Structure formats: structure tokens, C-alpha cells
């Protein structure tokens, strides 16, 4: 029986991965289909390819009665209705671990960019100001500062290891204290924000943490504090963040993710103390290839009746 594979959501995929998917069946892109075509394709879809930002909710499962698996080209899966996947006995896989290093590196890059105001220095040179205008203001060193990591998972631990090399003191907040971790634990996000100089978000998005970084948390972080987000835009109340920047409630921010991607509010732009990236945490050739390899390995395991390599927790393994 011919396999039908449907890509859901707007995200870039390596041409090599797309070619390998086409080798395994009839391949369609959901948002390129007309309404009538979409209904017909979904009725026979076996495999959905998604990303962390793809939305696949309960009605989508009903529209895909033959669905066997959702394979995510991402570590995140917050747009996928996992309870519905479990109820329909559908595999859901993702790509953890292979992107840990590059995302952790991106977090430190954002932190250094916003504390040392790298963009302002770059612009200073390009406009020919060096030697002609007053010297740039002094910036902030991260050495000796307190880094508070919200979400000490795989990526959070890699960030902590790198930050320790910069002589930062590490604390963390999570649902539970981790027995095998020596970093200081805080039982609430507000306690962590009050303690730290840099609040770094590395936790998965969930309904429970929607807009959990709000005016209260930003005020606790304080006028010498920096916010870095490499997790999900929904965790931060964007209006409150702009307010905090406008009123010098915090010192600056480094952001790789936003609430309404690809939209970035004007209030976050054109600030020397804010570093912005267009969701580029894992965007290296090496990491994206490793992610693609894991997508295919999981898909082939499903097709061959073997146990998948990286199932989303709680979902079907074989």
C-alpha cells in the first residue's frame, strides 16, 4: 500500500529530508492544498511531518482517520495534542539531544550580545563613528553574575556548563529539585528571578506556563537584570516585556523566540540592549542534518515495526 505523508505547519526543512520522505511515499504540503484537496489527502494520510510550531489538534486527528504517526522535525511538540495522539494510538516522535549544543551556544551568544551590546558596537563601526564620536558607553560583564535557569533539562544543563566556564553562579527553577544537580534550587520562578542577574528560559511551553514571565517576574529581576529566552515565545508576556524595557525595569534581553512568529513587535526592535534572532537556536548545517537523520530513523522504525528511537513521553513506542 502506498504511503501518504503530509507536512503540517510553516517551517523550513532540509531538501535532503524532503527527498527522503518522497522516496517513502506520496508527499504533500498541507498549506499548499485547496480545501477540497486537503480533505482528500488527509483522509488517506498515514504520516504527518511537523515542527514545534505546527498545530495539530483534536479535529485534525478526526480528519486523518488512517494516521499512524506524527514525526516532529524539532525537539518541541507543544502544538501537538498529545492526549489525542495517545487516545488514537498514534506515534509521536521528536528530535531531542542532537540540538542541545547549538541551542545552548545560542543562549550564551544572546546573553553576551545583549550584555555587551554587540549590535550597537557593530553599528558604531559601520557608520564610521569610531574615532569621530564619543566612545561607546561601558557595558556589563557576565563573569561573577548569577544565572537563573528556568527549566534545567537537557539544554538547560548544557547552558549551565557553559555559563560556569564564564565564572557565573548557577541557580535553577523547575517542577522538582534534581537530586543529582549541585546548582541552587528555587521553588518558584519569582524566587529565582529575585535572586539572579540573568533569567534564562529553557523550559517547554505548556498551558501552565503561558505568560508566566510577566510584570511581577520582570520587576523581581530588576533594573540590573537581563532576560534570555531560547524556549518559546508564549512563556513571556510580550507587552509586559516591552513595558519593562521602556521603563528600565530590566537592563536588557536576548530573544530567539516570540509570541507571534514571524512577527516581532516594534517595541522590541532598535534597542542597543536587546539582541534578537529569528528562531535560529538549532539552525546550523550540522544540527539540522542530525535532526533530519533522526526524523528518518524514527519513521523507518515505525514502518518496519521496530521501537522508535525518540518518542514523545507518554506516547506509543512500538
* pLDDT tens figures, 241-282: 999 999 999 999 999 999 999 999 999 999 999 999 999 999
Domain-embedded: residue 31: yes
Domain count, the chain: 2
20 and 93 inside one domain: yes
Say if 228 falls within a structural domain. yes
Q: Per residue, what are the HEC states of 210-241?
A: CCCECHHHHHHHCCCCEEEECCCHHHECHHHH
The reply to whether 272 and 139 lie within a common domain is yes
Cell of 269: 526592535
Q: Is 235:205 a contact under the CB 8 Å cutoff?
A: yes
Strand-strand pairing, 226-229 and 252-255: parallel
Q: Which residues of the chain have pLDDT under 70?
A: 1
* Upstream peptide bond of 244 is cis (omega within 30 degrees of 0): no
CA dist 200 and 253 (Å) reads 10
Rg (CA), the chain: 21
Q: In the chain, what are the helix, strand and coil shares in percent, each to the nearest 5?
A: 40, 15, 45
CA atoms in the 13 A half-sphere facing the CB of 316: 19
Distance of CA 249 to the CA centre of its chain: 25
Q: Is residue 89 located within the same domain as residue 166?
A: no
Q: What is the pLDDT of residue 49?
A: 98
So which residues are the catalytic ones? 232, 261, 279
Both 58 and 152 in one domain: the answer is: no
Structure confidence at residue 2 (pLDDT):
86
pLDDT at position 192 is: 98
Q: Is residue 113 part of a domain?
A: yes
Q: What is the pTM of this model?
A: 0.95
Q: Domain residues for 39?
A: 4-98+285-303
Question: DSSP assignment of 50-70, as one string?
Answer: E-TT--B-HHHHHH-TT--EE
End-to-end CA distance of the chain: 20
Q: How far apart are CA 302 and CA 165, in angstroms?
A: 41
Domain assignment present for residue 144? The answer is yes
What's 163's domain CATH number?
A: 3.40.50.720
Instruction: Work out the burial of residue 111: count CB atoms within 10 Å of its CB; fewer than 13 is exposed, 13-18 middle, 19 or more buried.
Output: buried
Amino acid at each position: 500500500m502506498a504511503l501518504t505523508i503530509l507536512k503540517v505547519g510553516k517551517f523550513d526543512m532540509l531538501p535532503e529530508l524532503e527527498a527522503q520522505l518522497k522516496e517513502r511515499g506520496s508527499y504533500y504540503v498541507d498549506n499548499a492544498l485547496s480545501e477540497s484537496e486537503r480533505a482528500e489527502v488527509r483522509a488517506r494520510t498515514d504520516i504527518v511531518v511537523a515542527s514545534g510550531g505546527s498545530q495539530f489538534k483534536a479535529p485534525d486527528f478526526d480528519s486523518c482517520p488512517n494516521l499512524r504517526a506524527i514525526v516532529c522535525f524539532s525537539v518541541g511538540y507543544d502544538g501537538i495534542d498529545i492526549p489525542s495522539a495517545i487516545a488514537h494510538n498514534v506515534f509521536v516522535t521528536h528530535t531531542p539531544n542532537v540540538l542541545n549544543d547549538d541551542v545552548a551556544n545560542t543562549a550564551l551568544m544572546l546573553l553576551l550580545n545583549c550584555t555587551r551590546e554587540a549590535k550597537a558596537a557593530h553599528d558604531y563601526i559601520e557608520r564610521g563613528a569610531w574615532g569621530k564620536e564619543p566612545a561607546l558607553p561601558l557595558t556589563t560583564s557576565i563573569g561573577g553574575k548569577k544565572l537563573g535557569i528556568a527549566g534545567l533539562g537537557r539544554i538547560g544543563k548544557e547552558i549551565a556548563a557553559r555559563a560556569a566556564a564564564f565564572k557565573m553562579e548557577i541557580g535553577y527553577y523547575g517542577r522538582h529539585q534534581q537530586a543529582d544537580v549541585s546548582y541552587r534550587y528555587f521553588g518558584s520562578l519569582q524566587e529565582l528571578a529575585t535572586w539572579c542577574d540573568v533569567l534564562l528560559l529553557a523550559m517547554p511551553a505548556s498551558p501552565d506556563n503561558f505568560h508566566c514571565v510577566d510584570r511581577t517576574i520582570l520587576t523581581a529581576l530588576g533594573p540590573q537584570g537581563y532576560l534570555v529566552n531560547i524556549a518559546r515565545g508564549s512563556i513571556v508576556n510580550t507587552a509586559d516585556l516591552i513595558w519593562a524595557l521602556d521603563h528600565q525595569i530590566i537592563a536588557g534581553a536576548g530573544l530567539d523566540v516570540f509570541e507571534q512568529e514571524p512577527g516581532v513587535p516594534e517595541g522590541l526592535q532598535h534597542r542597543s540592549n536587546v539582541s534578537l534572532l529569528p528562531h535560529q537556536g538549532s539552525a546550523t548545517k550540522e544540527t539540522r542534518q542530525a535532526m533530519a537523520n533522526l526524523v528518518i530513523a524514527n519513521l523507518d522504525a515505525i514502518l518496519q515495526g521496530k521501537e522508535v528511537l525518540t518518542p514523545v513521553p507518554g506516547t506509543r513506542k512500538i
